[in-house]
Structure 1
């Protein structure tokens, strides 16, 4: 089974789509797919679909959605072959009813989330080993798996919203480290356009701002680097009542007082990320 959630939802079994078009069955499939191989309790699915006040018909309606998904799986199985024992699998062998809930069992799943986590993890280890070319390559490959916000075409309830937030935080961590690797490789000019977009997209993210300041400074744009700090400070004070971190303040003072090349290599990386607005 192929599971893609880093963008639009797409789930394929033996190359055939089993992704429904109706909104609520899509929610059910999205949650089952994100937790493939794990039991998803009926209560969790019910809360995802209807919140804390489900209708009296919730359980029967959920069973209808499960049957609709199994119909799609059955259609996909018709194009496949039997398993190793010569027996053809049925939809209920892929989407199982288990005590208390349901489980999506696709065999050797190919998941864009798992591939992202594998590549990002390798990239982090390369960063720790100070192998910046390898880190930049691996983290770029991980980020290339994203075609847009996670589950961008799925209505999300409380559980999917939590999953989407978790995935977005993972993406931002990988992005931060990939930018840091590129800065270590002297690619500050190449990063300017991307960082211009990112600091506008995440106006309270201190780490990205610090990297933007460093890239501007190393590109001979000292005044713009200081302006970036002031914009972040104004936003933090206005929206959160907070001053920038001590690390970012130190970077600002270094840019203000130091000559070219005097800044420490890890100035930007030392800045913690503020909450994303």
Structure 2
């Protein structure tokens, strides 16, 4: 058996999230249907990180095992033939699948990941743009980026992120290591880039919602640190809309030699 890793990009707007469901209206369902059609056999996939309804991916990483022998470009072109326009395999790479007694030698899309990076794109303009519907969040009140940066700086490091955790979160621990937060204004867009070892359910959207409260003057920057200390989800801002959230990049050890893309922002973010 061979293990294949895929880089998958998708527009999450039409789908009920990544993880497969009974209605088969998810990204994973569509990907596995396309893989099975191409391979003429059922194929189960494992992803680096599940995304919610309406959330997009510049580069999701999945793996699967197969006995089929095909060159990597055949996997890309063949599977894409059976995928809808909103989902595409961008690259394929054969990776090691080690015996059960030597898991450290085996590539795993989820457990081999060292960090995840998300972008949240927020359109900051008095009037919403229909061209960005489903692709960016929107707030009409002016945002002070420097105030948001001051608030975000308190999130760097290892913290208990209970205040930014969904009630439905199934993670064993709310403690995560936030490695980087960048907030940039590009035209009328404010782009949040967050990188951590892992994320809780709705964590990025909850962080963005609270930082928007700081940016529009509703709260002071030190409120973010207070939320961390209080560990009470009810004290933080409401969960922000999913439209502007993008899974951008998964960090892996270079030894796996994955042909990953940069996860760079799309040009229309500057609208």
| TM-score bucket of the superposed structures, by smaller chain | under 0.3
- TM value normalised by structure 1: 0.25
Larger proportion of helix: 1
Give the number of the structure with larger relative contact order, counting CA–CA contacts within 8 Å between residues 6 or more apart. Answer: 2
Q: Is the radius of gyration larger for structure 1 or structure 2? A: 1
Larger proportion of strand: 2
